[in-house]
Every structure is written in C-alpha cells, then in structure tokens.
Amino acid sequence: MGPRSARGGLRPVVAPPPTVGVDLGGTKIYAVALADGEVVATAKRSTPRTGGPSAVLERVAEAVERLGLDGPPHRIGIGGPGPSRAGRTTLGPAPNLAGWDDAVDLAPPLRERFGEDLVVVVDNDVNAAARAEAALGAGAGAPDLLTVFVGTGVGGGLVLDGRVRTGAHGMAGEIGHLLVVPDGEPCGCGGRGHVEAYAGRAGMERIARRRHDAGEPTALVDLAGEGRMRSSIWAEALASGDAMAAELVESAASHVGTALAQVALVVDVGLVAVGGGLAERLGASFLGAVEQRVHDLLPWDSDLHVVPTRLGDPAGAIGAALLAAEQP
C-alpha cells in the first residue's frame, strides 16, 4: 500500500492501517480488521431481512464502524453468497440475501461512506474462507488445501500453490455436487446422487423423514419437533444410540470420503480441511471415517490428511481481508 496521494500533504511514516474483511451472510454480517496476518478487531451485526441491498450495505458499514479503527478503512474485502469472480466489486444475484436479485456494485456506496480512494473487492464466501484457512488456518505452510464445509449443503474451496482456484465458470471446488451414487438421492441442484444429497443436513433430514414416514423408528424426528434437524440433534440422536442416525452419519462420512478421493485423483492435494456444523459437532470420529474412506478408495498408498478447519466463523471475513490486502 503506497501513500494515498489524493489526500496529499505530509504524513508520518506509520504501519499501514488494518485491512477490513466482511463476511456477508444470510443471517449475519461478520467484520474483521486484519494487520500483519493477525485479527486486531471483530464486529458482528445481523443481516436485515427487508430493505434490499441498500439496507444490507448500511448494516455492513455499521459493522465496519464498530471495528473502532483509527479513521476510515483503506481497503475492504467482502465475501458474499454469490458466484465467485475474485477481483470484482459486484455481488449477486444472491438468493440467500433478501431482495438481492441482481448484481450490485458495492464500490460506489462504500466509497461514498469511507472515502473515494477505498479499495473494494468482492469474493465468493466459500472461496474467501478457503483462502483464509489455506493462508492462516489448517493449511498454513502447505502448498495446497481443499477446504470443505459440511453444513445445510456441502461446499468447498480449492487453493493450489497458494492461490484460490476459481476456474472457467467460478465453480472450481464445488465438490458438493460430485457424483457418488449414480441415479441416487435427489440433490437441491436438480441432479441426483451428489455428495450433498447424503452429507448436507438438508439431504440427511429429507432421507430421515422419508424413512420415518415409511415406519422406520428414529428419535431424530421427535428431537427436531417443529424445527430443522440441526447438528446438535444429530449428535443427541447418536449419543442415545439411534440406529438410523448412526447409519446416516456413517453414510455421510463415507460419501464425503468418496468425493475427497475423486479430488485427490484430479488434483492430488495432500491436505483437506473439513468444517461446518456436523463435522465440527462430531469432530474426530467423523473426520476419521472420512479419511479412512479416502485411503480405502485411492489406488496408491495415500497419506492424504483430513483435518478440522481452524479459523471457525471469522474465516470468510479473514479471507476477504486477505484478498483486499493483495489488490494493487
């Protein structure tokens, strides 16, 4: 970062100001300030459900202000739930953000708020989190890292030789849609037999409710009550010895392992970090089952390691800040 010539005048030689990263999610906005690879401030706000992009951006600005920096930020990176084209300043369409139906350029409103020299850059949220895990989390020191998030769905981001791979359509790392069972369970994307249909919470719940409706006993449905089958409910059912929960969790780990073996055959990464609700809740037993499946499937003596993600919730915001810091 050079001196900001537009402001002119003599300025004392000081450390560069922190770079700001924002993870713009469907329910919350998470902001961090990053200096020398360390998070020096964090702030959280809820994502407004009405008012569209302008209301959301106002809340983003509030989160940035709550970081309490000395003066306005010079660089902001935003990770959001849209298609990935690292280096843009536009986000959307974003179905997970209320009223965000088109691509919106985030640079003009943020520059109006924080200064016309503000560097703004937008990234896909999963790729932002993968960048952060590779640089400062589970992959620190390794050349490559695949980061997989097992949540409602299954998403992934791929870092090769230290750079996020986006690919021809910004779809690289979309391992949730790898085919693991030909003509298998329906997937949210309209396809069938994808790993997300077996290892994402939405798919697992769909299978459990269907089997329960067909008369198979399970505590999962009662435990969920009127709500969704959250990770805690799966953990509770497992702890109580529920057979269907055990079978579906084992199946989820096995299918994630199958998907990771395919990734290993395509790009031969040596390290995979797995995070997200179910993986974090079940911990080593889940990751161990995933890793075992990878080793069973690969046609060479594999030392691929499956480890937990390390940065937790702030990963997306940290990765967005790292991208902003890299901008020219």
SS3 call for 237: helix
Which of residues 73 and 257 has its CB atom nearest to a copy of itself in the complex?
257
String of contacts with a copy of itself for each residue 239-278, x by CB under 8 A: -------------------x--xxxxxxxxxx--------
Cis omega before residue 83 (within 30°)? no
Residue 140 binds to a copy of itself (criterion: CB under 8 A)? no
Per CB under 8 A, contacts with a copy of itself among 157-216 are 158, 160, 165-175, 177-182, 187, 189-191, 194
Edge-to-edge strand ranges of the sheet holding 119-124: 38-46, 28-35, 19-24, 75-80, 119-124
Which of residues 280 and 291 has its CB atom nearest to a copy of itself in the complex?
291
Question: Would you state the structure tokens that stand for residue 104, as one six-digit string?
Answer: 């919106």
Q: Which of 40, 28, 34 is nearest to 132 (CA)?
A: 34
Determine the longest span between alpha carbons in the chain, in angstroms: 77
DSSP secondary structure of 22-71: EEE-SSEEEEEEEETTEEEEEEEEEPPSSSHHHHHHHHHHHHHHTT--SS
String of contacts with a copy of itself for each residue 94-133, x by CB under 8 A: ----------------------------------------
Smallest gap, in angstroms, from Cβ of residue 308 to a copy of itself? 19
Residue 141 binds to a copy of itself (criterion: CB under 8 A)? no
Smallest gap, in angstroms, from Cβ of residue 298 to a copy of itself? 8
Contacting residues toward a copy of itself, per CB under 8 A: 144, 158, 160, 165-175, 177-182, 187, 189-191, 194, 258, 261-270, 297-300, 302, 304
